[in-house]
Structure 1
Amino acid sequence: MAAVPPVCDFGWKGIDAILPGTDGNEHQLSEHVGPGGLVVAFICNHCPYVKAVIGRIVRDANDLRGHGVGFVAINSNDAAAYPQDSFEAMKEFARAHRMSFPYLHDESQAIARAYGAACTPDFFGFNANMKLQYRGRLDASRREEGSPDLRRDLYEAMVGISRSGEGPRDQIASIGCSIKWKDGVE
């Protein structure tokens, strides 16, 4: 079932955390904030929405690095109910898609809850002070990859944030599969 997150809560202070990464290291979110900001993306391995855009997520993360924007992805899905989202499967997913950014495991789901993550993918774009400036879509792709000339909403917003510290006032929410909460709790 598709889920849509709420609109951007401008200025909301991002919550820091330390989570294990598929690279075998522990990662503190605040250590990945660049001089242009940080994207925190909630994704997973099995969601058709994520599968349709994972190449574009990797592309945009790589391109944003040149603008001083850090990038991390977090999987918070219940791996007991969805084994394809297990930590071991995450490692393979990261390798297969050549992720150049940390792919982190939120096994307790505490970070997804703290952020109010609603779906996969769900993008949170912060300025250099970790104040939320973007909560919107990657682009107009849905369950299938869109055309190559789609406007790069997340990328363009984060480039603007890297320059001014402020996000665009007009944002289109992401859409995707709902976060798979443990014990069916939402």
Structure 2
Amino acid sequence: MLLDTPICDFGWNAPDFTLKDAHGRAYAMREQIGENGLLIAFLCNHCPYVQAIGHRLAKDAETLKAAGINVLAVMSNDYRDVPIDGPAYMPKFAEKFGWSFPYLVDEDQSVGQTYGAVCTPDFFGFNVQGELQYRGRLDNAGMRDPKGRKRELVEAMQLVALTGQGPRQQIPSMGCSIKWAR
């Protein structure tokens, strides 16, 4: 099911969480906020939207990291229902796209629910105080050829890094619905 993300709730304070990657390494969200902010991306392996942006996201994450903005990816899908999204497949998927950021398993789906994540990809951009400033799409290319794309997420997060606030105009991300446990 194709869904769009809700409008950004500017200033919403990011709830802390600790999740593990597929190798069992734990990451606490609050400890991952960079000197200029944090991007949390809700992703999964099977979604064609995530697959279409995978390489672009890797490049954009490197740009953000250079700007003092860290990136965390969270996989909240019920992988018992969609096995390809499970921890056994996550490292290879991340490697395929060159992701250098932690790709974390939301085993009980509590982080996805707390954040109100609705689809993959779903991007949450926070300032250094952990206040939500971006809830939009990666770029204007979507699933098309990315040549000449407008890097909306990067531009928004660079603004957040400079001013602490995101742009007031944001275009929602679109993707596959998160697969919640029944």
What TM bracket, shorter-length normalisation? over 0.9
Sequence identity percentage? 46
Question: Any residues of structure 2 matched to 1:89-100 within 5 Å, and which?
Answer: 89-100=89-100
CA deviation string 1:25-58 (max 9, x = no partner)? 1111111101110000000000000000011111
Q: Does 1:111 align with 2:117?
A: no
Query: Where does structure 1 lack aligned partners over 5 or more consecutive residues?
Result: none
- For 1:18, the equivalent position in structure 2 comes to 18
Q: Deviations over 1:82-132 (max 9, x none)?
A: 011011111211222221100000010000000000100000000000000
Please list every run of at least 4 consecutive aligned residues from structure 1 whose deviation after the TM superposition is greater than 6 angstroms.
Answer: none
Conserved in 2, the CA contact under 8 Å of 1:52 and 1:141? no
Q: CA deviation at 1:23?
A: 4.7
Distance in 1, matches of 2:161 and 2:25, equals 27
Superposed CA RMSD: 1.0
Could you tell me how far apart the structure 2 residues matched to 1:96 and 1:22 are?
A: 15
- Structure 2: any 5+ residue segments left out of the alignment? none
Q: Tell me the equivalent position of 2:132.
A: 132
Q: Map of 1:19-34 to 2, 5 A cutoff?
A: 19-34=19-34
TM-score (norm 1): 0.95
- Summarize the alignment of residues 169-180 of structure 1 with structure 2, pairs less than 5 Å apart: 169-180=168-179
- For residues 52-80 of structure 1, the C-alpha deviation after alignment (integer angstroms, 9 at most, x for no partner) is 00111111111111110010000000101
Structure 2: distance between partners of 1:146 and 1:115: 30
Contact 2:139 2:153 in 1 (8 A): yes
Normalised by the size of structure 2, how large is the TM-score? 0.97
1:2 aligned residue: 2
- Check conservation: 2:55, 2:98, Cα contact below 8 A: no
How many residue pairs get matched?
182
Please tell me whether the aligned partners of residues 17 and 28 of structure 2 are also in contact (alpha carbons under 8 angstroms).
yes
Counterpart Cα distance in 1 of 2:146 and 2:124: 24
